[in-house]
Structure 1
Amino acid sequence: MGHSCCVNGCHTKSHDRHGRKVDLNMRFFRFPTWKRGYGQQVEELTERRRVAWVAAVRRKDITFNTISPFMRVCSRHFHKGQPAYEMMETDPDWAPSLHLGHTYVAPTDTARAERRCRREQLRKEKLRAAEIKEEDVTPEPGEESSEQHTEEGTPGTEEVGQLHAKEWTHEAGGGSDELTTENKIQITSHTVTQTECDLCVLRRAEINRLLEENRALRLELHECRISDGFFGDNDEKVKYYTGLPNLGTFMTLFNFLVPLMHGQRKILTPFQMLLLTFMRLRLDLPPQHLAHLFRVSLKTVYRTFNETVSFLHANLKCSIVWPDRETLHKIMPHEFVEAFGHRVAVIIDCFEILTEKSSDLKVRAQMFSSYKHHHTMKYLIGITPRGTICFLSKGWGGGTSDKHITLNSGFLDNLLPGDIVLADRGFDVKDRVGMLCAEVKPPAITKGCCQLAARGVEETREIAHLRVHVERVIRNVCKKYKILSGTIPVTMILPCEGEDVTMLDKVVTVCSALTNQCPVIV
């Protein structure tokens, strides 16, 4: 894309109307930016430079706060054909000054800048020479004897110089006044140089102190900042903030997820996005607190959490899978084999999560749970005899019965003839199971569900003893990820845009999938 100069009266363009480049040596430069967050000195300097450019161009449509990104100043308005480095405020090209189309800003004098540079160079050379001379004058250990010899009677160098000076003065006669004036000048020059050297030493010491302080503060900031090395090698830290058992499990999950993330540029790194989400799920930290910890806005915390939960839901829900019968036989605990053989397929139960009260009366009636005496969302969960979560339904209103959820959640589609399901008495679906599975093998399914209505005290005791594992898993999930133990806002139980699941469904699925990454409880 071609550029044109924004200075009044300057018709310089990079390309002609046919798209051909006009002048290969002509360059165009943007207005300098006002840099904030780099320290007070840089902020004030860049602010002055931006003001200087705006004043030099002097156009009504260009102000300090309203400068189009397409506005350019060509190299014709600079002495050296380009702007100077922003820290060289005394350079003639720190701001444009040539051919500006007005006389309000006088062209800068390059000769003056050159004289200033020469003076600065001479001053540095004098300081360097004074330092070298000071090092040469410093006596070495072997020179002490010569100084003592001088004190004992042999005239030293200084005394010899004074004698020669007296003799030369006596011979010169009338030139004594000139010699005295020259000596005074030399003494004064030496005093000034010595003072400057002392100042240099103090400045160097102060600079070194500031550098050391800067390094210490950077190290302290790095330790406090939640960066990619936040966990270090501390497994307890990983367990506390994420719920995962150790650093190896977290890094395995992290390395699996990072390549699947979009390459869009974000304020937070992928590690920080995952950690923020884990901390919200695990500790139920308020978004305001997370915004303070990660030094981002509250809006960024909400957006990051929602996006990361959706991403985790899409990639981790496949870990909640119904195992095949052969796998169940291999991992079946012996207490299940002794009680029911190898036929137990799953243990099911429902758990409820407290929610805020909806403003819709119909929704409020559907969500009120007579068991919890609160508005809730209910989920059907199924675990294998080994204790791994293998089924999780979508959320239903707290007023929905366990039987209705079991029949309409798709749970029965996973059962095979001969499978036994351990459940509470509230899951009375014996008649419906026989009807749904009549074409397959009804006697086996009926047998599998006959345990729902206990036939004897001993059988009831065995079922209750083994069915308690699902309650332990539910407590483990809700205890590990405390966001499920609190009160969920109404916004999380609304369907996500373009999807048939809610944000709470995604959160529960992610928490269950992460629990599957931890050691089993059976």
Structure 2
Amino acid sequence: RQCRQAEIGESAEPETNESILTDTEPVVENEVADEEHNYMQSYSSLVLDIKELEKQIAYLQTEMATLQSQKHPLTVANVIDNEQKMLMYPSLKPQMFRIIDSTLQRFPLVYVDSWTPSAFSRTDQLFMTLMKLKLNCPFLDLAERFCTSKATIHNIIITHVFALHEVFFEGMMENNILSLLKCKASMPAIFGDFNCCRLVIDATEVTQDVPGQDMTAQSQTYSSYKNRHTVKSVTGVAPNGAVVYVSKLYPGSTSDVAIVKHSNMLAKLSPGDMILADKEFTIHSLLPQGIHLNIPPFLKDKGQYTPAEVQVCRKIARSRIHAERVNERIKYFEILSHIPQQFRHISTKIFQVCAMLVNFQNPMIADIANNYSFDL
């Protein structure tokens, strides 16, 4: 009996183990299948995501190539933080450009072509106008730089020349010669022998196109000094180097004395004032009472100057040279290198605007520059 029970026990044990394996085996197979299904599902989703990203990359590459092929217009924002570029394009430091821009924007603009170019801000319009004055870029060149048409450039530039002239020249500079008291307050040391000087005057000429078929106009604009057709202006500079007077442009054959007489500039002076000038300004008979003129002495029939006359000539030349330096700065504006036919009707305004802009540049006299500081 015991042996029989042992046989039964031995035979029962495998049955128990087999039943256990039989019960658990399907569970293991289901788990493995689920894991394989999850893996396949995640792999498929990743493949779809990769394909979607590849499509986005291809689209962005196409868009980037399109944008790179397109021209980007020049704006003042591209150069406003670079002082060298600002001096190259509008000839002004950034802070001075901002002053002109903020002042001009206080006034409405009436465009000469009767339509408003809305594609550009007024700051960029001022920028392209100053570029035209400084570099004299052709309208087509500016149209390419700013990605617009020649008609738009013409509309903007002519309008802003009128606006700059009205606001800054007529409104601030014209008929506002510094008083003798203000001149003495900022008198450089080089004017020590002329402490009553209020104005240093000089004449300058600008070439222009031959004025059509009008022979009278051609003879009037022909300058024997320049041997070409020119227009002439008389500029007045205060002792501190500021441009305080600019006459209209006259035909090149007009004498300096005739310009002073016709412009009526002497009426703006007061008794006790002194004028420094070159020999061509023999305007003694035009001077109002109490106003003095100091010009270099004439040699006349003498063989040479006396030592005292040589000293007078040197002193006048050292002081009067600032007017010549101002005229040189005015001519740095390339638009004045030669006035074409299309600008003849506004040539005076262009010249006076360029002269006005000189006052926004750095002082040219060392004594004034050393005391000059600007914080925006």
Give the TM-score normalised by structure 2: 0.76
Any idea what the Cα deviations from partners look like across 1:337-357, whole Å, max 9, x if unmatched? 2x12x2111111111111011
Structure 1 residues 116-158: Cα deviation after superposition (integer angstroms, max 9, x where no partner) = xxxxxxxxxxxxxxxxxxxxxxxxxxxxxxxxxxxxx999637
**How many residue pairs are counted as aligned between the two chains?**
319
Counterpart position of 2:310: 457
Asked if the contact 2:234–2:260 (Cα under 8 Å) also holds between the matched residues in 1, the reply is yes
Given the alignment of the two structures, is residue 226 of structure 1 paired with residue 226 of structure 2, yes or no?
Answer: no
Per the TM alignment, residue 326 of structure 1 is displaced from its structure 2 partner at its CA by 1.2
Q: 1:328 maps to what in 2?
A: 183
Q: Of 345, 350, 357, which aligns to 2:210?
A: 357
Aligned equivalent of 2:18 = none
Counterpart-to-counterpart distance in 2, 1:288 and 1:366:
33
Tell me, in whole angstroms, the C-alpha distance in 1 between the residues paired with 2:65 and 2:269.
63
Deviation at 1:520, TM superposition (A): 1.6
Give the Cα separation in 2 of the matches to 1:232 and 1:396.
37
Deviation digits for residues 94-124 of structure 1, max 9, x if unmatched? xxxxxxxxxxxxxxxxxxxxxxxxxxxxxxx
Q: Is this contact kept in 2: 1:319–1:513, CA < 8 A?
A: no
Aligned equivalent of 1:374: 228
Whether 1:315 aligns to 2:167 is yes
Larger RCO (CA under 8 A, 6+ residues apart): 2
Out of 68, 81, 101, the position equivalent to 1:254 is: 101
Question: Residues of 1 paired with 2:32 and 2:236: CA distance?
Answer: 107
Equivalences for residues 251-330 of structure 1 within 5 A: 251-262=98-109, 266-317=118-169, 318-320=171-173, 321-330=176-185
User: Alpha-carbon deviations, 1:468-492, whole Å to 9, x = none?
Assistant: 111111111212x11112x211232
CA contact (8 A) 2:89 2:131 kept: yes
Letter paired with 2:254: T
* Aligned pairs for 1:493-512 within 5 A: 493-494=344-345, 503-512=346-355
CA contact (8 A) 1:347 1:382 kept: yes
Please state whether the residue corresponding to 1:242 is helix, strand or coil: coil
- 8 Å CA contact 1:375, 1:398 repeated in 2: yes
In structure 1, distance between residues paired with 2:145 and 2:285: 55
3-state SS of the aligned residue for 2:232? strand
Task: Judge conservation of contact 1:344–1:385 (CA < 8 Å) in 2.
Answer: yes
Given candidates 488, 492, 497, the residue that maps to 2:343 is: 492
Q: Deviations over 1:26-80 (max 9, x none)?
A: xxxxxxxxxxxxxxxxxxxxxxxxxxxxxxxxxxxxxxxxxxxxxxxxxxxxxxx
Cα distance in 1, alignment partners of residues 341 and 324 from structure 2: 26
The code of the aligned residue for 2:84 comes to: E
Residue 211 (structure 1) aligned with residue 67 (structure 2): no
For residues 392-418 of structure 1, give each alpha carbon's deviation from its aligned partner in whole angstroms, at most 9, with x where no partner exists: 000100010111001111211112112
Conserved in 2, the CA contact under 8 Å of 1:422 and 1:452?
no
**Map of 1:145 onto structure 2:** none
Could you say if the C-alpha distance between residues 219 and 231 of structure 1 is closer, same or farther in structure 2, counting changes exceeding 3 Å? farther
Q: Could you tell me which residue of structure 2 aligns to residue 469 of structure 1?
A: 322
Describe the SS at the equivalent of 1:201. helix
Does the CA contact (< 8 Å) of 1:313 and 1:506 recur in 2? yes
- Paired residues of 2:296 and 2:313 also in contact (CA < 8 A): no
Structure 1, unaligned runs of 5 or more: 1-152, 162-189, 495-502
Residues 220 and 278 of structure 1, relative CA distance in 2, 3 Å threshold: farther
Q: Which residue pairs with 1:238 in the alignment?
A: 86
Q: Residue 229 of structure 1 aligns to a residue in which SS? A: helix
TM-score where L is the length of structure 1: 0.56
CA distance in 2, matches of 1:482, 1:232: 21
Counterpart-to-counterpart distance in 1, 2:240 and 2:65: 51
**CA–CA separation in structure 2 for the residues paired with 1:484 and 1:393:** 15
> Does structure 1 residue 157 correspond to structure 2 residue 29?
yes
Counterpart of 2:358 (choices 501, 506, 515) is 515
Distance 1:220 1:347 in 2: 55
Matches within 5 A, 1:113-128: none
Q: How does 1:55-70 map to 2 (within 5 A)?
A: none
| Percent pairwise identity | 26
* Local SS of the residue matching 1:380: strand
The residue aligned with 2:239 is 385
Distance 1:249 1:240 in 2: 14
Partner of 2:352, secondary structure, is helix
Q: Per the alignment, do residues 257 and 155 of structure 1 end up closer, same or farther by CA in structure 2, a change over 3 Å counting? A: same
**Contiguous gaps of at least 5 residues in structure 2:** 1-24, 34-39, 111-115, 299-307, 366-376
